[in-house]
A = this chain, B = another copy of it.
Amino acid sequence: MPEDIKEKIVYSFKNDYSEGAHLDILNALINTNTSQQNGYGEDCYSEEAVDILKDKINNENIDIHFVAGGTQANLVVISSVLRPYESIIAADTGHISTHETGAIEATGHKISIVESLDGKLLPERIEKLLSEHSSEHMVKPRMVFISNSTELGTVYKKNELEKLSLFCKKNDLILYMDGARLGAALTSDTNDLTLEDISRLVDVFYIGGTKNGALLGEAIVLCNDSLKKNFRYNMKQKGALMAKGRILGIQFSELFRNNLFFSLGKHANFMVSKLGSSIEKLGYDFLNETESNQIFPIFPTEVVEKLTEKYGFYVWQNIDDEMSAVRLVTSWATKEEIVDRFLSDLEKLIEHK
């Protein structure tokens, strides 16, 4: 997928992990560098990060573990919950369904696919799937995977998550939220969820650092007591227990000590909304509504081609012979002047058409 970002390129809107890390985080790494610490996440920085997070989440009854990346988080969590014959339900658009090279199946489990609505899972569609799994000749769906924000940039509303949570409890399903982009979700204009809400409504979730200003790192939050036992064994077995776990603890302390995590998410969303409202004014449509740091505007193909000379982004879908939808992702690191320049370039392209 990725090719070299060429020198001529002014800026890449391909994803939210193109730069390094927020400077506060790098400085924290430097300031703590010489302190000797225990390995494997039993250092005082990781302990501090856990305390800070419990405070922010406002829930003492949770276990928190840090891992390096999102695929790792997903495979460690899911393989630790399911018995061999159990499956995890995910949207057809879900990250684990398509973009993790069979990471979940490699731990022995089927993913039971449900068609999503704008990237979200609906209880009634899960119910239909459950009703079709009636005997030992089929897997037993046991866990539900959702992403927030979703792979299409939408975010779960509180009442949606409550319904899903209630449905899962009724049906003895474990609800898991992949929060790779939780920073953008929780700071979306349309969001009405808090970390505390999430911790009460799902059984397990993770808070993504990599896509919100950290060098690396995701914080797995185990809310359901029955999932907590021996979790570190699973992490170690899957290669997810970092020797210098301190690096993860330091970063999450920094992200949550003073709400850096939220301000970075807000910034990314603001950049995208600026892009979105201006593009809308220019008369263009979108594949779906904008809720977080991804938008999917539909441009004339020749405009797209011109834009690629100076900006990086993915062509998401060919609408017809003349129009293409592209994906623009902003991040904690996207500067407003770049957004302005992009919009100005876009405007010029249209005038010259």
Contacts and interface: CB of A to CB of B under 8 A. Distances in A.
B103 A237 contact: yes
A224 interface: no
Contact of A2 (B39, B211, B333): B39
A33 interface: yes
Given A2-B40, A38-B3, A109-B105, A238 B239 contact: yes
Contact of A83 (B74, B230, B246): B230
Contacts of A68: 68-69, 216, 239, 242
A20 B27 CA distance: 12
Given A33-B19, A34-B20, A1 B137 contact: yes
Interface residues on A, range: 35 or more
Interface in A228-253: 230, 232-244, 246-247
A279 interface: no
Number of copies: 4
A37 interface: yes
A293 to B, nearest CB: 15
A71 interface: yes
A11 interface: yes
A102 B237 contact: yes
A247 to B, nearest CB: 5
Q: Which of A11, A99, A236, A239 has the most CB of B within 10 A?
A: A239
A256 to B, nearest CB: 20
A350 interface: no
A301 interface: no
Q: Which of A2, A100, A137 has the most CB of B within 10 A?
A: A137
B106 A241 contact: no
Contacts of A30: 20, 23, 26
A107 to B, nearest CB: 8
A1 B243 CA distance: 13
A216 B242 contact: yes
A271 B230 CA distance: 37
A110 B88 CA distance: 13
A6 to B, nearest CB: 11
Contacts of A99: 137-138
Interface string A283-311: 00000000000000000000000000000
Contacts of A15: 39
Interface string A2-32: 1111000101101101111101001001101
A105 B84 CA distance: 10
A114 interface: no
18 contacts: A1-B135, A5-B38, A20-B29, A20-B32, A34-B333, A68-B68, A68-B69, A71-B239, A75-B238, A84-B107, A85-B230, A100-B137, A101-B139, A102-B139, A106-B108, A136-B230, A210-B244, A215-B247
Given A1-B134, A20-B35, A101-B138, 14 more contacts: A3-B38, A19-B36, A68-B68, A71-B236, A84-B234, A85-B102, A85-B233, A100-B236, A101-B137, A101-B236, A105-B110, A136-B241, A216-B243, A239-B240
